[in-house]
Structure 1
Amino acid sequence: MGTTTAGAVRTTTNRAGALVAASLALFCIQLDFFALNLAIPAISAELGTTVSAAQWTLSAYMLAVGCLFIVGGRLGDLLGRRPVLLAGIGLFAAASVGCALAPDLGMLVVARIVQGAGAALVFPVSVSVISNAFPEEGRARALGAMFGIANVGTALGPFVGGGFSDGPGWRWIFWLLAPLSALSLLIALRFVPDSRDEAAPRQIDLPGCLAVVTALAALTLAVERGSAWGWDHARTLTLFAVAVVAGALFVLRERSCRHPLVDFRLFRNIRFDLVTVMGSVANMGYAVTVFLATLQLQQVRGLSAILSGTVFLAPAVMVACAGPIGAWLSTRMRATSVMALAGAIAGTGMIGLSWAWSWWFYLPVFTWCALGLGLDWTFASVATQQVVSPARAGEASGVVLTALVTLGAIALAAVAAAITSLTPETGPERAYDLVLRVGGAVILASSGLALLIRHRLDARGLVAAG
């Protein structure tokens, strides 16, 4: 009995340690990207480059992350989640130091690519680590807690980035991330257990990896730089063409490969498809809202970077609560219903922000909007683990995260282009408001459409509960 009790305590401790390690790693990744958004002008000034050139610190990171999510998730399933997670955290921590010490823009961009590669390993593997470490009855709660902590990093990013940019300097963003990442690595070394898809062969579809990385790299780069180069520029069109060709080759390869990187039978799971689409639309709204809120606060309302970041504190609390709230709702509502509810909150919040002329209205509406957006994109990862088997958790998570990140980047590029064309005619404030209204309407429509599709399929007996 004593041995059994000791084993149970050890198991509980290991699970708690794994949760802390994964949550802290994701917190660092989320904080990193959203903090650096407000630091671009400071980076440009210190390194003597244009703001457009400094933007490559974001583009390079997004490029690495978007390209490697699928590969990272599948590597965890095949080679073991523990070693892949440790490698990802280690890369991210080392690259953070490299970013802090970078003497010029070139070295900073290289370090950001390494950071992005580490993040691409950590994110999907963290999800599968928790999915496999916790029993089914506690899995949603654990994932909700993990994403709740990660979401604090997302929402606090602008505050940290603005504070350091106006204070000791943008390099301190990375000096903060380095020890936090190192602490996550030490905890992971001690507590994270290993797991893998035992039914899968121990080999990687290298041609598939090359094809999907090429396709996503070309697409992400075209989207990120299209507005700067021009959408009809030869470089932009060439990259889109490369993305289409490489994507087609990837699909052909995966359909004929004996051991594919992505098993396309995954998409026969309609619940998975609905969750992926709804989560992707919500993440597009999340990226656009954070971007527009930053511009509104500084360019329209005239706040400094640090004061703009302070406005994000109340929404940060709601975004942090979104993970636990989603876990609680998952035991009481179907996954698509939770995401539709979140979409209704997010959509009305985005539209409400476009009419928020005074602070007493702006702050509560922004907080309401953040709750819906945070719940929607967070619950996409939680719901994914509910509709696929734990053995394929990494693969499914990689696919979902790739969709979320890639479509989020496309949404930002589209919004930047729209604002550029609208501002001369309407002014920046009206351009921001119009984009928020359209975005809110799209999220509301997609949520309603997803529920309608699920209802029709349920009536035909084609979708299991979820």
Structure 2
Amino acid sequence: MGAEASPAARTGAFIAVAVALFCIQLDFFALNLAVPGIADEFGVTASAAQWTLSAYMLAIGCCFIVGGRVGDVFGRRGALLAGTALFAAGSVGCALAPGLWALVGARIVQGVGAGFVFPVSVAVITNAFPDAIRTRALGAVFGIANVGTALGPFVGGGFTEGPGWRWIFWLLAPLSVLALAVAYVYVPDSRDPTAPRQLDLIGCATVVCALAALTLAVERGSAWGWDHARTLTLLALFAVAAALFVRREPRARHPLIDLGLFRNTPYVLVTGTGTVTNMGYAVTVFVSTLYLQQVRGLSPLEAGLVFLAPAALVALSGPLGARLSGHMRPVSVMALAGALAGTGMIVLSLVTAWWLYVPVFAWCGLGLGLGWTFASVATQQVVSPERAGEASGVLLTFLVTLGGVALAAAASAITAMVPERSPDAAYDAILRCGGAVILAASVVVLVVRHRLADAAGIGGGAPPSGAPRSAGARAHGGGAGSRSSHDGRLP
């Protein structure tokens, strides 16, 4: 597609991708508040109903890398259509589910679809828009997607207390069909022209096995027990499968991931900072939900209303990040996001009055949203468009998988602290710890960047606004069989 895409094709691609990502974000953040309602309707425990979230995370986490590379190799249009169709079908299945395990199965279908849509969507926009406006387009897409984040808790709480949780999925189904129709009509195809139409099936199997084992262990470890045989077996399976994957990829004729990506210094720095910030995002949403409902005594709907303030600034973080990228280098933007997020989490743990809590919560939303959103934008600035899906899939895998690890750690910490502390004291301690980690990560990446820049004799000025990326900036990808790493140009 690239710069040759017509204005109509670019507009259509933008609408299709924005609506699809909006649905995925709305779905994830709405269902968190619907779990108690699901448990009540099906007459199961809250732990059993939690499988509706665990199964989705299992499916989506396994598919990011494979989905991104399938789009690069076989065509992004087909991958986007298939993923959106699966998500729409899964939404209908969830709405009609007669029992818990039928709902869990439909959630897996949704997760597989979302696992293809997310990385392919980023690659579609990257290849649809020319260099001069690509970053703004990505920022705007994530801004619209984050409106789903903003509305998710409100929709989830409102539907759970009103017509029922099934209406979350009845809302998602027609929106997904709309995205599918627009994509079918307007999105032209694109793929990596240097890649043969072959996929490393053994690599796919090992990485899916590794991610499935890790995700399931993290999602269910607190319920089973971290020293339970099932948890330990899954962690061992993850270690073995991950080792086999890393050993195989350099030898594979058509690798699923070019491991040279991890020699791309800008990509690694942005991914690392984005991952840590997203871990803070996950923990803040989790802890704040518990605080608002258990300590403040709010209903799910009332808690959803409080979440509108930070979520609105999360929605603004996409366009803000795109604008900042014209004046600051990507790692500097990520460090700024970390500074906002880290200080916001610490201050949030210190305030109790509503007139302070809500603005500080919104401040957190801006920093945390900027961190995870801009990570997806920035990684596209430091890889070639041909490998956009691969780079996005790897990033999203780190964001989601380690976000789950952070949630599990927070849940375990609360369980350990509550017998000796009040719940609100435990929540505050977790927020302070998370904020300190994000601040430390922001300082580390800035120090690393400046030291590497000094060693290379590179200035630290901002890139010229709208300037096309040079071959050095497109550090990853290139000719067939390329194993190129970053050439020294720092973000």
The yes-or-no answer on 1:191 pairing with 2:186 is: yes
Superposed counterparts of 1:37-436, under 5 Å: 37-436=32-431
Q: Matched residues in 2 for 1:127 and 1:172: separation?
A: 28
Letter in 1 for 2:214: L
Letter in 1 for 2:77: R
Q: Matched residues in 2 for 1:465 and 1:222: separation?
A: 36
Task: Please give the TM-score of this superposition, normalised by the length of structure 1.
Answer: 0.97
Q: Which has the higher helix share?
A: 1
Once the 2 structures are TM-superposed, how far is the Cα of residue 401 of structure 1 from its aligned partner? 0.3
| Deviations 1:401-433, CA, capped at 9 Å, x for gaps | 000000000000010000011011101100000
Residues 271 and 463, structure 1, Cα contact 8 Å, conserved in 2: no
| Deviations 1:357-378, CA, capped at 9 Å, x for gaps | 1001001000011000000100
Once the 2 structures are TM-superposed, how far is the Cα of residue 326 of structure 1 from its aligned partner? 0.4
Q: Matched residues in 2 for 1:254 and 1:405: separation?
A: 22
Residues 380 and 388, structure 2, Cα contact 8 Å, conserved in 1: yes
Q: Matched residues in 2 for 1:272 and 1:24: separation?
A: 27
Once the 2 structures are TM-superposed, how far is the Cα of residue 39 of structure 1 from its aligned partner? 0.4
* Moved beyond 3 Å, runs of 4+: none
Count how many residue pairs are aligned between Structure 1 and Structure 2.
459
Residues 66 and 120, structure 1, Cα contact 8 Å, conserved in 2: yes
The yes-or-no answer on 1:31 pairing with 2:26 is: yes
Q: Matched residues in 1 for 2:175 and 2:169: separation?
A: 10
Report the secondary structure of 1:193's partner residue: coil
Q: Matched residues in 2 for 1:313 and 1:114: separation?
A: 29
- Which 5+ residue runs of structure 1 have no aligned equivalent? 1-7
| Deviations 1:78-103, CA, capped at 9 Å, x for gaps | 01000000000000001100000000
Q: Matched residues in 1 for 2:395 and 2:372: separation?
A: 10
Q: Matched residues in 1 for 2:488 and 2:114: separation?
A: 34
Report the secondary structure of 1:38's partner residue: helix
Q: Matched residues in 2 for 1:377 and 1:334: separation?
A: 16
- Which 5+ residue runs of structure 2 have no aligned equivalent? 457-486
Residues 5 and 128, structure 2, Cα contact 8 Å, conserved in 1: no
Name the residue aligned to 1:464.
Answer: 489
Report the secondary structure of 2:420's partner residue: helix
Q: CA RMSD in A?
A: 1.1
Once the 2 structures are TM-superposed, how far is the Cα of residue 11 of structure 1 from its aligned partner? 1.4
Change beyond 3 A, Cα 1:331–1:10: closer
Letter in 1 for 2:412: A
Q: Matched residues in 1 for 2:296 and 2:230: separation?
A: 37
Change beyond 3 A, Cα 1:383–1:10: closer
Once the 2 structures are TM-superposed, how far is the Cα of residue 9 of structure 1 from its aligned partner? 12
Report the secondary structure of 1:203's partner residue: coil
Name the residue aligned to 1:3.
Answer: none
Report the secondary structure of 1:312's partner residue: helix
